[in-house]
C-alpha cells in the first residue's frame, strides 16, 4: 500500500483519498461513536467489548467496478447469523469423526442472489456464471470506510481485544490514557506490507512499509524520517445494521436481451445488465428517493445454448486474418443464422425458452406475484423478440419443425413495454414483403402495450420505425429524449457517478473542423455536409414529445387522420458530436451506461414518477 494512494469509496459518488495522519507526538482524540467500547463516567472509552452483529458488516465485490459494496442491514444480519452458527458448530464437532454438513444458502439482494457461506461467494440465482466474492468486515479506513481485508481485520481484532477487553477480575489488561501526550505505542502488529500501531484504545493507525528500494529506506532513515504516513483505522461500521433496512418487493421485471456478438463472451450481457441496473438505481435514489417502486433487470443470455451449425463455420474458416475471422464468426454470423430458414426457428425457440424459464422460475419463488413484465432488447435481439411476440414463423411454414411447434405456444406472460435499443427491426420488416403497407400494425396493443424504438443518430445499425407505418413520418422529427433529471428540456447539471461514462466520448477534432457555436444538444449542421449516409435516416432535430408537428420549411407531411396514436421513434441528444464520425464505432453499444436512456426507461416503467 503506497502513501496517499487514491481509493474508491463504495458509498460516495467520487473517488476520495484515504485520510493520512502523522505521528506528530500529539494524541488524536476520536469523537466518533464508540463501537464495541464500554465508556467510563465521563464518557471516555475504557474497555473494548466484542463487536455485536449490528456493528459487523458484510460486503460483496461489485462485478463491474470491482469494489466492495455493503449488503443492506437485513442481508448483513442474516449472513452474520449463519456465520456465527457455523463457527459454533465448527467448535463443537470432532474433526476426525464428524463431517460438517453444508451451510444453508441465504437469499440476498431482494431475492436475486444466494450467499454460500462455505465458499464465501454471492451467486446469481436466475442466470449462470455470475458470482462475487464476499467479506466479513470489522475494521475500516477512517473517512473512506473502505474495509480492510478480512485476514488482516481478524488479526487486528484479536490484538485489540487482548489489549483492551475487560478481564474476568474487572481489571483492564492495558489501561487507556486518552490524555497521554507522549504518543507512545502500546503495541505494534507487523504485516507483510504494513504495520499497525495501537496508541490508545481510540487511536489505531496503519503505517505503510512500502518504499521502492533498500537505498531509499536507508536515506530516509538517516534523514530522520523513520515514521511513515499513517492511516487511521476505525473499528465497527459507521452505521448499525437494521433488519428494517431491506429492499422493497419487486413490482416490475425487465428482461434484458442481447443482440449479436455473445458467442465467445457469454458474460457480456450480464455485465451490461449490471451496468444499466446501476445507472437506474443511482437515478432512482437521486431523483425519486421516496418512490416505493422497485424494478429488477434480468439478463437473458440466449446464444450459448444454441449449437446451430456445430462449429462447421469455424472449421471452414481460413487461417488468414484469423482474429478478424473469429470476430465476424462470433458476431455478424448471428444475423446470417437468423435469416437462414434452417436456423431461424431454432434461434427464436432458444430465446423463447429462456424467457419463459426465467419468468416461471421467478413466479415459483414469488407465489401470488402481481407485477408487470417488460423487455429491453438490443440490436438483433429486438428482431427476435418481436418475432416471438407477434408469432412470425418465417418464410416457409408448410412443414413446421420441432422448434416451430414450440414457438406456436408463444410467451407465457403478457408484456407491458418493449424497449428496442439500436434496433434494425424496421429493415427486417421492410424486406419481408414486396409492398409494405403504410398502416402496418407493428405491435398490436393486445400483445404489448407500448413500443419504444430508441437510437442514437450515430448508430450504424439502428433504423427508424415510424416511416414504415406512415411514409410521411420520414419528414417528422423523432422524439428527442431529454437529459436525465432535466426540466423542460434543459440539460441537467447534476454529476453522475464517476464509475460510469455518460454521454458521448470526447474525440479530437479534425483539422478542418469549424467552430461550433450551436447550443448544447444541437448538432452543427454545417458539419453534416458530405456524409450522405447520415441523411438516409435523419428525420430532424429538436422536437418535443407529443402530436407530430410539421417541419417549419415544408407543408404538413401527413394529414391528421394519418397520425400515429403513439410515437415510436425516440432519439438521443447528440451532445458534442460535431464531425466525430468515429463515434459510430462505439455508438451501437453505448446505450448500457447512458443515463439519459436509463432515466427514460425508468420513467416509462413507472409513469407516476414524473408527476
Query: Active-site residue 379, yes or no?
Result: yes
Instruction: Given the residues 76, 208, 374, 379, select the one marked as catalytic.
Output: 379
**β-bridge partners, 455:** 571
Residues composing the chain: 611
What is the distance between the alpha carbons of residues 454 and 465, in angstroms, rounded to a whole number? 10
Write out the three cell numbers for 48. Answer: 473494548
DSSP for 564-578, please give it: -SS--EEEE--TT-T
Write out the three cell numbers for 447. Answer: 400483445
What is the distance between the alpha carbons of residues 566 and 479, in angstroms, rounded to a whole number? 11
The set of long-range contacts for 175-181, using a CB threshold of 8 Å and a minimum separation of 24, is 176/44, 176/45, 176/46, 176/200, 176/201, 176/202, 178/27, 178/29, 178/44, 178/45, 178/202, 179/27, 180/27, 181/25, 181/26, 181/27
Write out the three cell numbers for 235. Answer: 473499528
Instruction: Check if the beta carbon of residue 4 is closer than 8 Å to that of residue 141.
Output: no
Beta strand extents in 304-382 (DSSP E only): 372-378
Instruction: Check if the beta carbon of residue 498 is closer than 8 Å to that of residue 458.
Output: no
Hunting for cell 429491453 — which residue is that? 376
Nearest one of 418, 539, 552 to 480, comparing CA atoms: 539
Cβ burial 500-534 (10 Å sphere, 16+ → b, else e): bebbbeeeeeeeeeeebeeeebebbeebbeeeeeb
What is the distance between the alpha carbons of residues 345 and 127, in angstroms, rounded to a whole number? 23
What is the distance between the alpha carbons of residues 238 and 80, in angstroms, rounded to a whole number? 17
What is the distance between the alpha carbons of residues 539 and 561, in angstroms, rounded to a whole number? 21
Nearest one of 558, 527, 520, 539 to 462, comparing CA atoms: 539
What is the distance between the alpha carbons of residues 257 and 276, in angstroms, rounded to a whole number? 12
The set of long-range contacts for 580-587, using a CB threshold of 8 Å and a minimum separation of 24, is 580/504, 580/507, 580/509, 581/458, 581/531, 582/507, 583/458, 583/504, 583/505, 583/507, 584/458, 584/459, 584/460, 586/505, 587/422, 587/456, 587/458, 587/459, 587/460
Beta strand extents in 324-421 (DSSP E only): 372-378, 415-421
Instruction: Check if the beta carbon of residue 187 is closer than 8 Å to that of residue 197.
Output: yes
What is the distance between the alpha carbons of residues 192 and 214, in angstroms, rounded to a whole number? 15
Cβ burial 36-74 (10 Å sphere, 16+ → b, else e): bbeeeeeebbbbbeebebbbbbbbbebbebeebebbbbb
Nearest one of 299, 232, 306 to 268, comparing CA atoms: 299
Annotated catalytic residues are 379
Amino acid at each position: 500500500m503506497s502513501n496517499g494512494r487514491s481509493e474508491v469509496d463504495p458509498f460516495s459518488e467520487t473517488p476520495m483519498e484515504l485520510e493520512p495522519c502523522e505521528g506528530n507526538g500529539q494524541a488524536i482524540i476520536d469523537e466518533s461513536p464508540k463501537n464495541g467500547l464500554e465508556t467510563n463516567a465521563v464518557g471516555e472509552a475504557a474497555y473494548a467489548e466484542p463487536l455485536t452483529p449490528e456493528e459487523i458488516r458484510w460486503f460483496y465485490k461489485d462485478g463491474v467496478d470491482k469494489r466492495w459494496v455493503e449488503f443492506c442491514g437485513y442481508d448483513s444480519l442474516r449472513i452474520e447469523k449463519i456465520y456465527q452458527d457455523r463457527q459454533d458448530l465448527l467448535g463443537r464437532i470432532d474433526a476426525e469423526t464428524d463431517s460438517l454438513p453444508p451451510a444453508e444458502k441465504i437469499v440476498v439482494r431482494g431475492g436475486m442472489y444466494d450467499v454460500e457461506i462455505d465458499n464465501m461467494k454471492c451467486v446469481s440465482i436466475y442466470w449462470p456464471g455470475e458470482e462475487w466474492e464476499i467479506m466479513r468486515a470489522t475494521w475500516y479506513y477512517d473517512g473512506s470506510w473502505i474495509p480492510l481485508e478480512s485476514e488482516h481485520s481478524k488479526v487486528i481484532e484479536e490484538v485489540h481485544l487482548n489489549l483492551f477487553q475487560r478481564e474476568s477480575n474487572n481489571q483492564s489488561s492495558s489501561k487507556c490514557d486518552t490524555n497521554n501526550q507522549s504518543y507512545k505505542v502500546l503495541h505494534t502488529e507487523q504485516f507483510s506490507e504494513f504495520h499497525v500501531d495501537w496508541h490508545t484504545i481510540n487511536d489505531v493507525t496503519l503505517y505503510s512499509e512500502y518504499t521502492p528500494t533498500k537505498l531509499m529506506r536507508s536515506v530516509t532513515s538517516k534523514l530522520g524520517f523513520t515514521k511513515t504516513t499513517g492511516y487511521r483505522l476505525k473499528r465497527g461500521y459507521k452505521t448499525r445494521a437494521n433488519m428494517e433496512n431491506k429492499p422493497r418487493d419487486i413490482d416490475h421485471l425487465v428482461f434484458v436481451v442481447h443482440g449479436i456478438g455473445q458467442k465467445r463472451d457469454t458474460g457480456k450481457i450480464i455485465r451490461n445488465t449490471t451496468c444499466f441496473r446501476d445507472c437506474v438505481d443511482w437515478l432512482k435514489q437521486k431523483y425519486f428517493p421516496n418512490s416505493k417502486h422497485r424494478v429488477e433487470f434480468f439478463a437473458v443470455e440466449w446464444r450459448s445454448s444454441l449449437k446451430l451449425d456445430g462449429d462447421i463455420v469455424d472449421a471452414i474458416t481460413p487461417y488468414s486474418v484469423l482474429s478478424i475471422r473469429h470476430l465476424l464468426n462470433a458476431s455478424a454470423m448471428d444475423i446470417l443464422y437468423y435469416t437462414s430458414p434452417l436456423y431461424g426457428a431454432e434461434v427464436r425457440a432458444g430465446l423463447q425458452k429462456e424467457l419463459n424459464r426465467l419468468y416461471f422460475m421467478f413466479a415459483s419463488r414469488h407465489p401470488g406475484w402481481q407485477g408487470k413484465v417488460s423487455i429491453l432488447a438490443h440490436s438483433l435481439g429486438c428482431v427476435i423478440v418481436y418475432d416471438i411476440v407477434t408469432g412470425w414463423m418465417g418464410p416457409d411454414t408448410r412443414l413446421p419443425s420441432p422448434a416451430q411447434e414450440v414457438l406456436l405456444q408463444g410467451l407465457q406472460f403478457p408484456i407491458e413495454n418493449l424497449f428496442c435499443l439500436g434496433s434494425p427491426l424496421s429493415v427486417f420488416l421492410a424486406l419481408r414483403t414486396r409492398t409494405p403497407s403504410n398502416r402496418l400494425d407493428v405491435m398490436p396493443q393486445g400483445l404489448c402495450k407500448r413500443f419504444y424504438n430508441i437510437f442514437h443518430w450515430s448508430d450504424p445499425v439502428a433504423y427508424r420505425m415510424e416511416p414504415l407505418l406512415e411514409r410521411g413520418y420520414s419528414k417528422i422529427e423523432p422524439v428527442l429524449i431529454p437529459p436525465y433529471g432535466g426540466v423542460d428540456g434543459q440539460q441537467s447539471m447534476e454529476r453522475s457517478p464517476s464509475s460510469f461514462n455518460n454521454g458521448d466520448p470526447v474525440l479530437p477534432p479534425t483539422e478542418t473542423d469549424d467552430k461550433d457555436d450551436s447550443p448544447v444538444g444541437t448538432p452543427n449542421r454545417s458539419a453534416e455536409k458530405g456524409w450522405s449516409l447520415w441523411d438516409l435516416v435523419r428525420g430532424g432535430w429538436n422536437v418535443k414529445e407529443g402530436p407530430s408537428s410539421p417541419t417549419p420549411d415544408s407543408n404538413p407531411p401527413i394529414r391528421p387522420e394519418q397520425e400515429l396514436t403513439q410515437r415510436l421513434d425516440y432519439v438521443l441528444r447528440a451532445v458534442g458530436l460535431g464531425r466525430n464520425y468515429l463515434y459510430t464505432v462505439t455508438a451501437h453499444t453505448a446505450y448500457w451506461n447512458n443515463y439519459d436512456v436509463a432515466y427514460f426507461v425508468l420513467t416509462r416503467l413507472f409513469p407516476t414518477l414524473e408527476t
